[in-house]
Structure 1
Amino acid sequence: MPCRFGHQRGRARWASGLLAALLACSTGHAEQADELQRWIEKNAAPLRSIAATDEDFRDLEPLLTAIGPAEVVQLGEPGHGAGNSFAAKVRLIKFLHQRMGFDVLVWESGMHGMRLADAAMRGESDAVSAAQRGIFTIWSNAEEVRPLLEYVKSTQATSRPLQMAGFDLQFTARNALDAFSEDLRAFVSAIHEPTIRSQLQADVDRALATYHRLCCELREARRQHREHLVRLGTSEQVLAERLTAWDKREALALRPTQQDLDAFSSSSDAVLNAIQAHRALFEQAHGAKGTSFMEQALINLRVDAQGKLDIDHGVRGETSARFRNAVAYFNRRDERNAHNLRWLIEQGYPGRKLIVWAHNVHVTRAHFAPGFAAVHVHPRAGDMKPTGAYLSDWFGPKIYTIALTTYRGKDRWVTGDRVIEIPPSEAGSLEARLHALGKPYWFLDLRAAAIGSSHVAGQPLKMRMMTPVPGSNTAAPPHGSYLVEDIRRAFDGVFFIDETTPATPIRAQ
């Protein structure tokens, strides 16, 4: 409740009253802060280890009660280069698999490519090579993730294998588009009715050709031109000048246009409409689940193609700096990814328990102002709605979402050498409060706040929500803290690592 100062007669009495009121306000705020800190001290569970190879899970047992009957556990991360957060997630996944029966690991990686990666885990490929058929390189080439990949591989011959899937609409691995193109052509070629098959093959060829125009022609031409200049022995300074000149002279004709998107949409819609009209023929050839999976993959391709026009290919630098409409791009991707996850939960693996690996900003229930400038648990017009908010709408308490966060440290994507400093979190933030407890790792069940003090249950808190792209110039400071009106409405639990270490690239064998 706000403090009010009554009118006092006389300067001395006024000064005395003012001092008393200020002390009362200060004491009231201190008591509120102390109440919150006392609740955190009472409810935060210290964790012994975040080592990926540590399978003594006794310190993780508080998660048994916190997660309870939830059927999907989402594991966020503070940054895509937070190496020891990756290691902590590996240990958590082993715990969830061995102690709680979660047996499907769903990555923020390509839906189609991850099906290939999962199949490769059951073949002769080594664990890392199998994973790199689908998983984003930021994870599949990280030493901190390698123990998980090897663990997944080791479970395949057991009675309780850990399967893998993906929920991202994008192609997220090398040669993923080529593999999808081959599978799509085989999908329609299996139809026995020759007239329908012939028309479908023509539509598929047009769809793939126009998608390639949208996604790849400019990038491949620029790469080939650069390689040609390098072979000629061009110096770095001259190379940059000639590439800039090439962009101004040649690239314009190769940039995707609305006409390209319209041509792709027409041909891809023809394939989708044929699946709907002749579903019995497709299910005869591929089964109901196989037909539905390819349908989802085609819808992903269609939505992804729309996103290609949001990227200005004439601008270099961080990918997020090139978005013409970053809000539309984020919303389109996260809405489609949510539908992919829903399909995996309801049709891909019905009755199974799933673990989701992604970034905090995708799994949270909170919404974001444009450019990640603020976090809103009560959505506002123009906000960005993440995948986790859709899942919360559809599945409610069946989803348990854990944010991984940090007080300070370093972040580095394994795809580059750039190390990002993470400064200490600001005073009064959730991270600063957990840091004050004096141990390196904590788990805090935020659902438990609902049965605590009414003040704690609705306590506004600042919390780190790093943006996915380090140093993006279209986002708020990537390691800043955001005020969240009610932290329980953003996440169900918090896994705290006091100091983050940067991810380490896998060394060549």
Structure 2
Amino acid sequence: MPGQETFTAWLRRHAITAETLDPRAPMDDLEPLRDLIGTARVVAIGENAHHVREFYLLRHRLLRFLVERCGFTALAFEAPFTEAHMVDAWVQGGPGAVQEVAAAGAGAGGLGCCTEMYDLLAWMREHNRDTAAPLRFAGTIISSRRPALAALAGYLRRADPDALPVLEQINAHAEGLHHTSIFKVLHQYTALEPAVQDAMTASISRLLGRMETMTAYQRSRGHEREHATALHHLRGVWYGDHALRDFAGRGIPAGSAAADAYLAESVLRLLADGHADGRIVLAVHNCHIRKTVVTHDGAFGLFPAGYHLAQALGEDYLAVAATSGDGRTAQVRPEPGHPLGFQVLDHPQPPPTATSVESAFAAESALTIADLRAARPAVIDHENFQHMRMEHYLTDVDVFDAYDAIAYLPHTTCTDYVSAQPPPPAQRWS
């Protein structure tokens, strides 16, 4: 069409740029983000790999801007829903050392265990000292069974003791499935007899049905909010059980569909809990925030959390994928014999290809943000970008359909969590 240009040319004239990722730097250079954000109630800021230092800095700096200048009220992080309550208590002045609280409440896969995360949480706590409306921290992903079921048991003892025997059945079936590493749990689950797996699924479903039917009664007793929280603990267990069945080949294989559905429900629940003026920053991986359906080996049904949120919120949901140029990245690799059930490996970034969106960006600024909604009608080559970085490789994604904006960082490094990882188990040769 007349007047169109390449995406690279468009970026030179229209991209938002900043010269630092320092979270405590002045924020005037981020003011152009107001037009990008608009009235969105959920702004998702992704990352193309976990355990990358610069993505933590990016989120910290943008969170500070969104809270202090745009009135955002919560950070929803890729942390377990149940365990994250202790982090929320800490940022609002609760006891404990930040390293211990982050490891216990936001440490799924080690995501809470790095200097940059400690600094972010310390800033939230500092911010909350001087505000009448404290900034909340919330987990969004499926919790380990033990803390989720323990929280549920505390509620049932007070509100519905008749349901406790069913909870005890779940605990009996799930004995041995309480490792904090999902990779360990996946392999433990496949070792269970199918009859035990089925009994556990049946007990979880029975308890979920009981709690759903008790909702109106608990509301009439003034326990609506407490009941909703307890029910969300249980829904995490229920979704987690379905994810395990899928992994074991006894469900409908759809990748992380159960986890993404729960993540979206967690965000929508937090939004409703924040009342009419609540606004949320969502910090999870790029693969979770995308707005388009994922096709995986021909299976249908893999809807990312971003798809659910876009369907529920429309323009009130904004998906900002974060990606990078050169430097280092981290690969999370399952390793059954490893103490954590996985390894995190430090990798060099491979060069981008002509069809990866990173190839359009110049590495001149510490941060470049492109509004893809504004760029799409103005650029001639938007359909060319069908790939984006994911860990140490490129993944298939129609970038302009999947995301509303791209935050590009020219150089990345791994966090100190990666260098502190225990070594992999020694190889044994027969």
Q: Is the TM-score greater than 0.5?
A: yes
Which category of TM-score, normalised to the shorter sequence, fits these structures?
0.7 to 0.9
SS for the counterpart of 1:170 is: coil
Indicate how the Cα distance of structure 1 residues 289 and 45 shifts in structure 2: closer, same or farther if over 3 A, else same: same
Deviation at 1:40, TM superposition (A): 1.9
The aligned residue for residue 167 of structure 1 is 140
Indicate how the Cα distance of structure 1 residues 256 and 274 shifts in structure 2: closer, same or farther if over 3 A, else same: same
Deviation at 1:137, TM superposition (A): 4.6
Please point out which of 350, 359, 366 is paired with 1:432.
359
SS for the counterpart of 1:125 is: coil
The aligned residue for residue 310 of structure 2 is 392
Deviation at 1:142, TM superposition (A): 1.4
How well do the aligned residues superpose, as a CA RMSD in angstroms?
Answer: 3.3
Q: What are the superposed Cα offsets for residues 7-60 of structure 1, whole Å, 9 maximum, x if unpaired?
A: xxxxxxxxxxxxxxxxxxxxx9xx97x543322211112211112332x11111
Please point out which of 283, 288, 310 is paired with 2:224.
288
Q: What are the superposed Cα offsets for residues 399-448 of structure 1, whole Å, 9 maximum, x if unpaired?
A: 1111111122211369856211211212354312212x633421111122
The aligned residue for residue 86 of structure 2 is 116
Counterparts of 1:52 and 1:127, CA distance in 2: 18
Indicate how the Cα distance of structure 1 residues 324 and 103 shifts in structure 2: closer, same or farther if over 3 A, else same: same
Letter in 2 for 1:303: Y
Instruction: Give the alignment of 1:16-415 within 5 angstroms.
Output: 35-54=6-25, 56-121=26-91, 122-135=93-106, 136-159=108-131, 160-171=133-144, 177-191=145-159, 197=161, 199-213=162-176, 215-216=177-178, 255-279=191-215, 282-283=218-219, 287-311=223-247, 327-347=253-273, 350-370=276-296, 382=300, 384-412=302-330
Indicate how the Cα distance of structure 1 residues 264 and 426 shifts in structure 2: closer, same or farther if over 3 A, else same: same
- 8 Å CA contact 2:149, 2:233 repeated in 1: no
Counterparts of 1:424 and 1:325, CA distance in 2: 38
Instruction: Give the alignment of 1:450-465 within 5 angstroms.
Output: 452-453=377-378, 455=380, 459-465=383-389
Indicate how the Cα distance of structure 1 residues 438 and 156 shifts in structure 2: closer, same or farther if over 3 A, else same: closer
SS for the counterpart of 1:341 is: helix
**Count of aligned pairs:** 405
Q: What are the superposed Cα offsets for residues 143-201 of structure 1, whole Å, 9 maximum, x if unpaired?
A: 22221011122223222422111111232xxxxx443333222211113xxxx62x312
Deviation at 1:368, TM superposition (A): 2.5
The aligned residue for residue 412 of structure 2 is 500
Indicate how the Cα distance of structure 1 residues 154 and 189 shifts in structure 2: closer, same or farther if over 3 A, else same: same
More moved, 412-421 vs 121-130: 412-421
Indicate how the Cα distance of structure 1 residues 336 and 53 shifts in structure 2: closer, same or farther if over 3 A, else same: same
Counterparts of 2:221 and 2:85, CA distance in 1: 19
Deviation at 1:127, TM superposition (A): 2.5
More moved, 437-446 vs 40-49: 437-446
Counterparts of 2:369 and 2:100, CA distance in 1: 33
Counterparts of 1:81 and 1:506, CA distance in 2: 7
- 8 Å CA contact 1:104, 1:353 repeated in 2: yes
Counterparts of 1:182 and 1:137, CA distance in 2: 21
Counterparts of 1:37 and 1:267, CA distance in 2: 55
Counterparts of 2:66 and 2:189, CA distance in 1: 51
- 8 Å CA contact 2:15, 2:370 repeated in 1: yes
Higher helix share: 1
Counterparts of 2:394 and 2:348, CA distance in 1: 12
Counterparts of 2:233 and 2:389, CA distance in 1: 30
Letter in 2 for 1:185: A
Indicate how the Cα distance of structure 1 residues 350 and 170 shifts in structure 2: closer, same or farther if over 3 A, else same: farther
- 8 Å CA contact 1:370, 1:383 repeated in 2: no
- 8 Å CA contact 1:344, 1:350 repeated in 2: no
Letter in 2 for 1:308: L
- 8 Å CA contact 1:75, 1:402 repeated in 2: yes
The aligned residue for residue 420 of structure 1 is 347
SS for the counterpart of 1:305 is: helix
- 8 Å CA contact 2:309, 2:317 repeated in 1: yes
Letter in 2 for 1:47: A
SS for the counterpart of 1:480 is: strand
Deviation at 1:126, TM superposition (A): 2.3
Letter in 1 for 2:380: H
The aligned residue for residue 320 of structure 1 is none
Which structure 1 segments of 5+ residues have no match?
2-27, 172-176, 224-250, 313-322, 372-379, 471-477
More moved, 351-360 vs 138-147: 138-147
SS for the counterpart of 1:39 is: helix
Deviation at 1:275, TM superposition (A): 2.5
Q: Which has the larger radius of gyration?
A: 1
TM (normalized to structure 1)?
0.71
SS for the counterpart of 1:407 is: strand
- 8 Å CA contact 2:19, 2:365 repeated in 1: no
Counterparts of 1:403 and 1:340, CA distance in 2: 20
Letter in 2 for 1:390: H
Indicate how the Cα distance of structure 1 residues 104 and 258 shifts in structure 2: closer, same or farther if over 3 A, else same: same
TM (normalized to structure 2)?
0.83
